[in-house]
């Protein structure tokens, strides 16, 4: 009789990792992030501070044109631009964590192979990484949002409180397809730097971050339509200051972000399984 | 007889046209220390991955701890400890944290992980390095930490892939001593190696494997008895002359192996052979008489040396 509890415990132990594997992976990632906690904190606070100060105190004072329109007329430039900056903060976390961290796990430090020998399945390794990175993104977007409040860079609708989550959704919509790509790479021979320079930067500059997409020649509008940055920024503007957009367009923004994120996550899980099994 | 912890029958793994593991059969009994001896590329690591439930077999039957890895991978892995060929410790974490983080993957509570970590650091003789960074450890210490990590879940089977490759002789002996203790405590070991001395040190029973096939099976001493003579005479005449002299040695001893750098004469009595050689007027630059080893078994079975 006295052995019964231990047997139950042992059986539970064998079952438990299968359900909570992704959480253990996330816990491990948090411990690793703790090593570069100052990078996380300083870039999380410093980047929005510099952007909001630079744009709010500098650039905005030079602008005469009304760039962003709310339901009651023009909104200050910083209010227009802030939701897009918040989204790009989450996306820049993705360009780091879903590239170099992945290559490190498979190749440089080979940590994923160690986890692979435990009851945790490859798909759970991918999901655990996503959970940890999403948490880091949420920290970044929450800090951004707090500073936006301090700088008066939000519109004041109650829906503005959703901005940090829109940022995370945008970050994942950009990041999860990138994660799937990174997991399929055997080696980094400059691909990650190329993603940064030729994917992230152009999207940052050309998908309605600093000015409405319609300002660009029609021939370039497609960049916005394929860009998770644009979809998330526009969604953020609707939620922050009630930018007037038709309902169908708002639905398209949400749908595009969800499809990219979920599709990327499924592909990433598959890429991890192919690599590790 | 107790149920085997590993039962493989006609186990096969193919990658496209290449057959890495070619219909091998073997069993590992509980508490046994079982070895796969063979050169690099023989299919040892592939076999380990299949048994470790991280790579699906192409054909054949396999039961690990009574379960099929195809359907019960996580349950099998929860009861295994794996020491991979290439260390994959987390260099971003401290020594002790590596153990704790790993224990979590087996569903152990943080308190149990911490307690196990301290016990295992002591076992691995690393308690003084508990707070050190992994990168500051020597190669031998990293291997001991990897072994400690593999033991965090009190596994029923410890699988070691080339455990001492790349270590200096002293570090190897420390590691063997630790593994020997595990063996004494009744832990089942499955070891791959291309070092015959390691196989002789660690394995109760082993299979010699080459090109994905099992060439022979038995205890180290039985294999030596079956496939080699009691003694071996090693003669070196210089790389130019070895082949020429070999013709004159024909018929000497039970068998002759001519290698690029030396000639091996297999015999029950080495001193007699040496006398013969000197009476025949042949003067080797060096000569020695030694006991037969698994290296000779492998040479006999495959015509090749283990380490090439």
| Residues B249 and B275 reside in one and the same domain | yes
**HSE-CB of B104 using CA atoms within 13 angstroms:** 19
Task: Determine the angle formed by the axes of helices B95-104 and B139-150, rounding to 10 degrees.
Answer: 30
Residue A116: predicted pLDDT: 97
- State whether B66 and B125 are in the same domain: yes
Do B45 and B78 fall into the same domain? yes
Which residue in B has a C-alpha nearest to residue A19's C-alpha?
B107
Residue of A nearest to B75 (CA): A14
Question: A interface mutation test: which of B13, B74, B100, B135 has the most A CBs within 10 A?
Answer: B74
DSSP 3-state of B144: helix
φ/ψ of residue A60, rounded to 5 = -60, -35
The answer to whether A17 contacts B74, with C-beta atoms less than 8 Å apart, is yes
Q: Taking the alpha carbons of B136, B138, B141, B147 in that order, is the dihedral positive or negative?
A: positive
* Residue B298 maps to a domain: no
Q: Are the C-beta atoms of residues A117 and B151 closer than 8 Å to each other?
A: no
Which has the closest alpha carbon to B9: B54, B72, B53, B51?
Answer: B51
Among B224, B241, B263, where does a domain finish?
B224
- Return the bridge partners of A69, or none: A74
Same domain, B213 and B234: no
A:7-36 residues touching chain B, CB 8 A cutoff: 12-18, 20-21, 24-25, 27-28, 31-32, 35
Predicted model pTM: 0.91
Pick from A12, A14, A114: nearest CA to B150: A114
Domain spans of chain A?
A: 21-276
In a domain, B131, yes or no: yes
CA distances to A56, A79, B122, B185, B219 from A63, rounded to whole Å, are 11, 13, 68, 78, 86
Domain match, B218 and B243 both: no
Name every chain B residue with its beta carbon within 8 A of the beta carbon of A116.
54
Determine contact, residues B152/B106, Cβ cutoff 8 Å. yes
The pLDDT of residue B25 is 97
Residue A248: burial class (beta carbons within 10 Å; 0-12, 13-18, 19+): exposed
Structural domains counted in chain B: 2
Domain of residue B17: give its range: 6-224
B77:A118 CB<8 A: yes
Query: Which residues contact residue B118 at a Cβ distance below 8 angstroms, ignoring those fewer than 6 apart?
Result: B96, B127, B130
Q: In this structure, are residues B25 and B10 in contact, taking their beta carbons and an 8 Å threshold?
A: yes
Co-location of B100 and B30 in the same domain: yes
CB contact under 8 A, B104 and A27: yes
Q: What is the SS3 assignment for B268?
A: coil
Q: With contact defined as beta carbons under 8 Å apart, do A95 and A167 qualify?
A: no
pLDDT tens for chain A, residues 1 to 277: 333 445 544 554 555 457 899 999 999 999 999 888 898 888 888 888 888 888 877 888 888 788 888 888 899 999 999 999 999 999 999 999 999 999 999 999 999 999 999 999 999 999 999 999 999 999 999 999 999 999 899 998 999 999 999 999 999 999 999 999 999 999 889 999 999 899 998 888 888 888 999 888 898 899 899 999 999 999 999 999 999 999 999 999 999 999 999 999 999 999 999 999 9
Is B286 found in the same domain as B183?
Answer: no
Q: Is residue B242 part of a domain?
A: yes
Asked whether residue B121 falls in the same domain as residue B216, the answer is yes
What integer pLDDT is reported at residue A117 of this predicted model? 96
Q: Are residues B184 and B272 in the same domain?
A: no
Contacts of A119 in chain B (CB under 8 A): 73-75, 77-78, 105-107
Partners of A13 on chain B (C-beta within 8 Å) are: 78, 106-108
**pLDDT tens-digit series, residues B5-32:** 999 999 999 999 999 999 999 999 999 9
Q: Which residue of A has its CA nearest to B56?
A: A277
Co-location of B163 and B254 in the same domain: no
Please report whether residue B115 resides in a domain: yes
Contact between B101 and B88 (Cβ < 8 Å): no
- Residue B210 domain-assigned? yes
Of A12, A17, A113, the CB nearest to B105: A17
**Which CATH number covers residue B20?**
3.40.50.300
Nearest CA-CA partner of B7 in B55, B77, B68:
B68
* Paired tokens of A238: 């609707």
Residue ranges of A 97-116 with Cβ closer than 8 A to chain B: 109-111, 113-116
Closest CA to A276 of A100, A99, A114, A96: A114
Query: Would you say residue B38 lies in a domain?
Result: yes
Q: Are residues B176 and B233 in the same domain?
A: no
Domain containing B259 — which CATH number?
3.30.70
Find, in chain A, the residue whose alpha carbon is nearest to that of B69.
A119
B116 inside domain: yes
Which of B224, B255, B273 terminates a domain? The answer is B224
Burial class (CB in 10 A: 0-12, 13-18, 19+), B230: middle
Chain B 194-253, CB below 8 Å of chain A: which residues? none
Q: Identify the segments of chain B with pLDDT beneath 70.
A: 1, 306-308
- The reply to whether residue B105 touches residue A20, judged by beta carbons under 8 angstroms, is no
């Amino acid at each position: 009789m006295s052995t019964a509890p231990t047997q139950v415990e042992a059986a539970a132990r064998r079952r438990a990792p299968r359900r909570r594997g992704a959480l253990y992976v996330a816990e491990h990632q948090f411990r690793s992030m703790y090593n570069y906690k100052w990078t996380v904190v300083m870039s999380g606070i410093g980047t929005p501070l510099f952007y909001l100060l630079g744009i709010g105190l500098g650039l905005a004072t030079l602008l005469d044109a009304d760039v962003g329109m709310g339901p009651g007329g023009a909104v200050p430039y910083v209010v227009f631009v802030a939701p897009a900056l918040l989204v790009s903060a989450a996306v820049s976390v993705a360009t780091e964590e879903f590239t170099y961290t992945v290559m490190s796990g498979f190749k440089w430090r080979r940590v994923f192979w160690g986890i692979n020998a435990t009851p945790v399945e490859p798909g759970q390794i991918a999901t655990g990484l996503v959970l940890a990175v999403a948490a880091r993104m949420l920290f970044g977007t929450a800090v951004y949002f707090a500073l936006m409040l301090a700088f008066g860079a939000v519109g004041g609708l109650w829906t503005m409180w959703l901005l940090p989550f829109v940022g995370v959704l945008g970050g994942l919509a950009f990041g999860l397809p990138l994660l799937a790509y990174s997991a399929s790479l055997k080696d980094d021979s400059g691909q990650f730097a190329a993603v940064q320079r030729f994917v992230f930067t152009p999207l940052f500059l050309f998908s309605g971050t600093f000015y409405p997409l319609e300002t660009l020649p029609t021939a370039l509008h497609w960049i916005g339509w394929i860009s998770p940055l644009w979809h998330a920024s526009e969604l953020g503007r609707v939620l922050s200051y009630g930018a007037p957009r038709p309902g169908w367009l708002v639905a398209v923004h949400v749908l595009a972000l969800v499809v990219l994120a979920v599709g990327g996550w499924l592909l990433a899980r598959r890429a991890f399984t192919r690599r590790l099994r | 007889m107790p149920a085997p912890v590993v039962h493989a029958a006609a186990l096969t793994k193919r990658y496209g046209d290449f057959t890495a593991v070619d219909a091998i059969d073997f069993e590992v009994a509980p508490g046994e220390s079982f070895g796969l001896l063979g050169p690099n590329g023989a299919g040892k690591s592939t076999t380990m991955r299949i048994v470790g439930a991280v790579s699906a077999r192409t054909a054949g039957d396999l039961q690990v701890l009574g379960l099929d890895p195809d359907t019960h991978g996580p349950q099998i892995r929860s009861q295994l400890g794996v020491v991979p060929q290439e260390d994959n410790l987390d260099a971003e974490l401290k020594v002790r944290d590596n153990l704790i983080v790993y224990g979590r993957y087996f569903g152990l509570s943080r308190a149990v992980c911490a307690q196990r970590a301290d016990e295992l650091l002591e076992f691995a003789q690393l308690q003084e390095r508990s707070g050190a960074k992994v990168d500051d450890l020597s190669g031998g210490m990293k291997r001991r930490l990897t072994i400690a990590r593999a033991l965090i879940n009190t596994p029923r089977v410890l699988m070691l892939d080339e455990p001492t490759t790349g270590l200096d002789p002293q570090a190897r002996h420390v590691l063997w001593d630790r593994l020997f203790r595990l063996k004494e405590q009744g832990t089942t070991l499955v070891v791959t190696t291309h070092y015959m001395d390691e196989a002789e040190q660690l394995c109760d029973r082993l299979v010699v494997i080459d090109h994905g096939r099992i060439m022979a099976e038995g205890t180290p001493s039985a294999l030596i008895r079956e496939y080699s003579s009691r003694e071996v005479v090693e003669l070196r005449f210089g790389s130019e002359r070895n082949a020429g002299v070999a013709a004159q040695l024909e018929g000497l001893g039970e068998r002759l192996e001519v290698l690029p750098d030396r000639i091996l004469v297999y015999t029950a009595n080495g001193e007699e052979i040496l006398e013969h050689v000197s009476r025949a007027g042949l003067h080797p630059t060096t000569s020695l008489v030694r006991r037969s080893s698994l290296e000779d078994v492998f040479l006999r079975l495959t015509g090749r040396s283990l380490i090439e």
